[in-house]
Chains A and B, each alone.
Chain A
Amino acid sequence: MKLTNKDILGIKELSVDEINLILDTAASFIEVSTREIKKVPTLRGKTVVNLFFEASTRTRTSFEIAGKRLSADTINISATTSSVVKGETLIDTARNLEAMNPDAIVIRHSAAGAPHMLARMVKQSIINAGDGAHEHPTQALLDMMTIKEKKGTVSGLKVAIVGDIAHSRVARSNIYGLTKMGSHVIVAGPAMMIPRDIARMGVTVYNNLAEAIKDVDIIMMLRIQLERQQQKIFPSLREYSSYFCLNRQNIKLAKEDVLVMHPGPINRGIEISPDIADGPYSIILDQVTNGVAVRMALLYLLIGGQR
């Protein structure tokens, strides 16, 4: 069993078998990160470029660690330090990178479809580390891995995703992944954060938190992008947090063994009250740990052998 495509552009393109392969492989990689010497020689001599056109500490670091633990050489290029700021186009950047012959390019970009464009232009494996509001496949994979680890399965669960669904790539990738794996996905947020026709993606839509999280197994809270308020997408953070913040009271509506997830970084007290974020329901830090394993698995599966 191996992956069909040379790239990981989105969860939409992955089959259930491929998702299972990635999750199982990632589970085996967890152990490597617990060793005293957290490094295996698997990708010795391979080069992974982290091409980040959008600020990110968490995802970039996670990819960097994943690459290094597999002995790959990882190079970080961020928009602020590269020639991107000098007006070089994505095409030029891609061609230049290709000429340096790396084995994989991890790309984060604020424009949806940028990784797809890159994948069409270069022969290297492209991993989408988040493109606009489109997809963030590695996040969804690590979320599914964490759910599977805690619940034993990713199917037959009720999962509520709460927040700015319209602008969230995490939401889209998780909707694709969780529905494929057989879970029931609920999305919730104020009307202006729910994109048109989202129900056709196979989800149930609510405009209030209480209905959304009733009897669910998992609650995924999304990060509210503070700049959206400047764009007048919603009236105020104060109002949002008083109606959509997950707290000690409303979490009782969910199943007793509910788990709370968040892709980070958290705006404490806005999406999640601090006691919930740090409390027993929270598996937020497990998500981070599994993030490294999932990214190791993808690098291994994509460039670990001959294609």
Chain B
Amino acid sequence: MQQKKVVMDADGIDRSLTRIAYEILEKNKGTEELCLVGIRTGGVFLAERLKKKLTSIEGVDLPVGILDITLYRDDLRLANKKPMLGKTDIPFSLDNRKVVLVDDVLFTGRTIRAAMDALIDFGRPKLIELAVLIDRGHRELPIRADFVGMNLPSSLWESVVVKLMEKNGVDEVVIEDDNQ
């Protein structure tokens, strides 16, 4: 039997995002030149939510982009099942922007590596920051998040799933033990 444990509920997620929004504003001293780029698919919804929060706090409309990192993955060569390719949509220039990259779970760091390579193909951002809802550890690359919703120490045989209303119909973070 698979064991499931809810580690963050809807309120928890919302509170974390609110805090992250304030931290983003604080660290960047406002919203000037700021933009958000969500990584498909979980990061996209989180980026949209962050944008709403930033808008309501600061009253400005921030550009949000969508990034599909499939074409930049380093494990494509090894992947058994070909990942479905999604659209990338960044309808604004990244040159001299402060880019906040948004993802749901930070794990090995390889996705973020691919995302940074991709971003740099789109232009020359002034800086790139990383916001994640969950940091579960086990980094394989020297990558660290600037904004973290929750640090969640996990074992390698556990999986951490961020469920969001927009795709799963529920807001919660679940930890599942695959080893059972």
Give CA–CA (A40, B69) in the complex, Å. Answer: 10
Q: Which of A27-35, A77-85, A266-274 contacts the other chain?
A: A27-35
B79 at the interface (CB under 8 A from A): yes
The reply to whether A31 and B82 contact each other, CB–CB distance below 8 Å, is no
Q: How far is the CB of B94 from chain A (nearest CB, A)?
A: 10
Q: How far is the CB of A73 from chain B (nearest CB, A)?
A: 16
Q: Interface residues of A: mostly helix, strand, loop or mixed?
A: loop
The reply to whether A40 and B121 contact each other, CB–CB distance below 8 Å, is yes
Q: How far is the CB of B90 from chain A (nearest CB, A)?
A: 9
Q: Beyond A36-B122, A305-B76, is A31–B71 a contact (Cβ under 8 Å)?
A: no
The reply to whether A306 and B79 contact each other, CB–CB distance below 8 Å, is yes
A12-48 contacts to B, CB under 8 A, are: 24-25, 27-29, 31-32, 35-37, 39-42
A1 at the interface (CB under 8 A from B): yes
| B71 partner residues in chain A, CB cutoff 8 A | 32, 40-42, 70, 300
Give CA–CA (A39, B117) in the complex, Å. Answer: 12
| A32 partner residues in chain B, CB cutoff 8 A | 71, 88
Q: Beyond A27-B87, A28-B87, is A37–B68 a contact (Cβ under 8 Å)?
A: no
Give B62-83 as 1s and 0s: 1 = Cβ < 8 Å from A's Cβ atoms: 0000001011100011111110
The reply to whether B81 and A2 contact each other, CB–CB distance below 8 Å, is yes
B85 at the interface (CB under 8 A from A): yes
B123 at the interface (CB under 8 A from A): yes
B30 at the interface (CB under 8 A from A): no
A304 at the interface (CB under 8 A from B): yes
Give B152-163 as 1s and 0s: 1 = Cβ < 8 Å from A's Cβ atoms: 000000000000
Q: How far is the CB of B2 from chain A (nearest CB, A)?
A: 25
Give CA–CA (A39, B80) in the complex, Å. Answer: 24
The reply to whether A305 and B82 contact each other, CB–CB distance below 8 Å, is yes
The reply to whether A28 and B122 contact each other, CB–CB distance below 8 Å, is no
The reply to whether A40 and B72 contact each other, CB–CB distance below 8 Å, is yes
The reply to whether A304 and B82 contact each other, CB–CB distance below 8 Å, is yes
B98-157 contacts to A, CB under 8 A, are: 117-118, 121-123
| B81 partner residues in chain A, CB cutoff 8 A | 2
The reply to whether B122 and A35 contact each other, CB–CB distance below 8 Å, is yes
| B9 partner residues in chain A, CB cutoff 8 A | none
The reply to whether B87 and A41 contact each other, CB–CB distance below 8 Å, is no
The reply to whether B123 and A36 contact each other, CB–CB distance below 8 Å, is yes
Contact of B87 among A2, A31, A39, A70 (CB under 8 A): A31
The reply to whether B84 and A42 contact each other, CB–CB distance below 8 Å, is no
Please report the total number of B residues contacting A with Cβ < 8 Å: 22
| B86 partner residues in chain A, CB cutoff 8 A | 28
| A306 partner residues in chain B, CB cutoff 8 A | 77-80
| B78 partner residues in chain A, CB cutoff 8 A | 305-306
The reply to whether A37 and B89 contact each other, CB–CB distance below 8 Å, is no
The reply to whether A35 and B82 contact each other, CB–CB distance below 8 Å, is no
The reply to whether A31 and B88 contact each other, CB–CB distance below 8 Å, is yes
A301 at the interface (CB under 8 A from B): yes
The reply to whether B121 and A39 contact each other, CB–CB distance below 8 Å, is yes
Q: How far is the CB of B120 from chain A (nearest CB, A)?
A: 9
| B72 partner residues in chain A, CB cutoff 8 A | 40-42
The reply to whether A300 and B85 contact each other, CB–CB distance below 8 Å, is yes
Q: How far is the CB of A20 from chain B (nearest CB, A)?
A: 12
| B117 partner residues in chain A, CB cutoff 8 A | 41
The reply to whether B68 and A28 contact each other, CB–CB distance below 8 Å, is yes
Q: Which 8 residue pairs of A and B lie closest in terms of their CB atoms, listed nearest first?
A: A40-B71, A42-B71, A28-B85, A37-B121, A305-B79, A28-B87, A305-B82, A2-B82
Instruction: Give me 10 other A-B pairs in contact (C-beta within 8 A), A40-B121, A304-B76, A305-B79 excluded.
Output: A2-B82, A39-B121, A40-B72, A41-B71, A300-B71, A300-B82, A301-B82, A304-B82, A306-B78, A306-B80
Residues in chain B within 8 A of chain A (CB atoms) = 68, 70-72, 76-82, 84-89, 117-118, 121-123
27 A-B contact pairs sorted by A residue (CB < 8 Å): A2-B81, A24-B85, A25-B84, A25-B85, A28-B87, A28-B88, A31-B87, A31-B89, A32-B71, A35-B121, A36-B122, A36-B123, A37-B121, A40-B72, A40-B118, A41-B71, A42-B72, A42-B76, A297-B85, A300-B71, A300-B82, A304-B76, A304-B82, A305-B76, A305-B80, A306-B77, A306-B78
